[in-house]
Amino acid sequence: MTTMTENASGLREFKMPDVGEGLTEAEILKWYVQVGDTVTDGQVVCEVETAKAAVELPIPYDGVVSELRFPEGTTVDVGEVIIAVDVAGGAGAPAPQASAAPEQIPAAPAPAPAEEPKPEGRKPVLVGYGVAESSTKRRPRKGAEVVPAQQPEPFLAATAIQGELNGHGHAKQRPLAKPPVRKLAKDLGVDLTTITPSGPDGIITREDVHAAVVPAPAPAPVVEVTPAAPVQAPARVPAPAPVVAYDTARETRIPVKGVRKATAAAMVGSAFTAPHVTEFVTLDVTRTMKLVEELKQDKELQGLRVNPLLLIAKALLVAIKRNPEVNASWDEANQEIVQKHYVNLGIAAATPRGLIVPNIKDAHAKTLPQLAQSLGELVATAREGKTSPGAMQGGTVTITNVGVFGVDTGTPILNPGESAILAVGAIKLQPWVHKGKVKPRQVTTLALSFDHRLVDGELGSKVLADVAAILEQPKRLITWA
């Protein structure tokens, strides 16, 4: 759902919505409009990346773009205004002009009269945040610098100087800095009001913030000497921490954010929360590979994605049906095992923005053609970067195909909240004993990692052995199903 506010001049402000059910921030990847462009209700104005996926945001009304509050690459909190639109179709409200002389402050100012209540308009709702009140407008104070509405860098409007009177009657100005610089200062614990800006027009730069972090040398302590007491040695002052310098010509620093940041946090949480156990099996999949070639010629599967992964996924679903206890999750709060009577099958997919794991809902109930169609749609959507946050939630077990990279096997880490993950290695021609003779056969290695709180060694071994048995003799897809 979207969030917007409207002021008396006809400008509507569109806020960053919660596009992922409880997410707190998103990065603006690309603007599709510029100041002065005409937009219509439902038109996509920008693409943002949350911790789960990249999402396109449509504008909910008609008008002319008056202001873009943040540049591409900026991480914005949910609820922050990101774009202003003049619904009247004009050039937007003119910026207020600064007064020629500062306002004289009376010795005893009279209290301002109470404003009459205004009728409430529509209250927009942020998903996961309930009803959000409209943001209040600030009246420009006299004597403060005013930034024009249309300027070379629109996002600097958010950093316009606002006068705030202190107890002595002097105006306290808010320092000018771009959003990334403000975030850097916040992370490093630097007060922007204490920094002398070096950028153009008095803007604080990243270098200014880094320079403020370097501690000033502490003065030597003064030691008083009295006749009755011996002279004390000066206190030992710790040396300031050295400033770490990086060779930008030989090193590249890449900010960890969006999908990659969320994946890193999830994997660390999973690795140090769920006790992992991994088992391996190497098997002959020659018959499965032959069946894949036959299915590609089947009329019922024409135009669908038919490959070894399809039959491996079906084999895992049959193994789960034979061993349903493996399909569960751990409820830490209630100290309970939650048995799942459905299978949301996750498929790990490598994308330019990082690894994501969308899942096929109710995969256990799908026929082979339906499973093939779902796999094809899942892969195509992931490659386009259009996977929705909902498609990556609620998974129960996952398959990761490391064989596409030529890797034989690995020890996969569980997706948080899931009970097991199956890694599929590369399928290669290898010498294999078949019917008493060494012959070249199609061989692969499977690795099954599982949560030992939910799955003991016997159950995990049964599941992995069943998957291997089906792939060695794919006719078991019929007899065991």
* Cα angle, residue 38 at apex, residues 36 and 40 outer, rounded to 5°: 150
Q: How far apart are CA 3 and CA 14, in angstroms?
A: 6
Supply the DSSP symbol for 152.
S
Beta-carbon contacts of 227 under 8 Å, excluding residues fewer than 6 positions away, are: none
Instruction: Write out the DSSP string of 37-75.
Output: -EE-TT-EEEEEE-SS-EEEEE-SS-EEEEEE-S-TT-E
Residues 6+ apart with CB under 8 A from 239: none
The tally of CA atoms less than 13 A away on the side-chain side of residue 49 is 19
Q: Of 265, 239, 247, nearest to 23 (Cα)?
A: 265
Cβ contact 89:61 at 8 Å: no
Helix (H) or strand (E) holding 265: helix 258-271
Give the Å distances, CA to CA, from 337 to 209, 234, 334, 415, 464: 50, 63, 9, 17, 21
Q: Cα torsion for 25, 30, 34, 38, to the nearest 10°?
A: -90
Phi, psi of 389 (to 5 degrees): -60, -35
CA 384 to chain centre: 17
SS3 453: coil
Tokens of 300: 């019922």
Give the whole-angstrom CA distance, residue 57 versus residue 47: 6
Which pairing describes strands 203-204 and 176-177: parallel, antiparallel, or unpaired? parallel
Catalytic residue status for 168: no
Q: Name the nearest CA neighbour of 11 among 59, 67, 69.
A: 67
In three-state secondary structure terms, 210 is helix
Please calculate the CA angle 220-225-228 and round it to the nearest 5 degrees.
150
Active site residues: 452
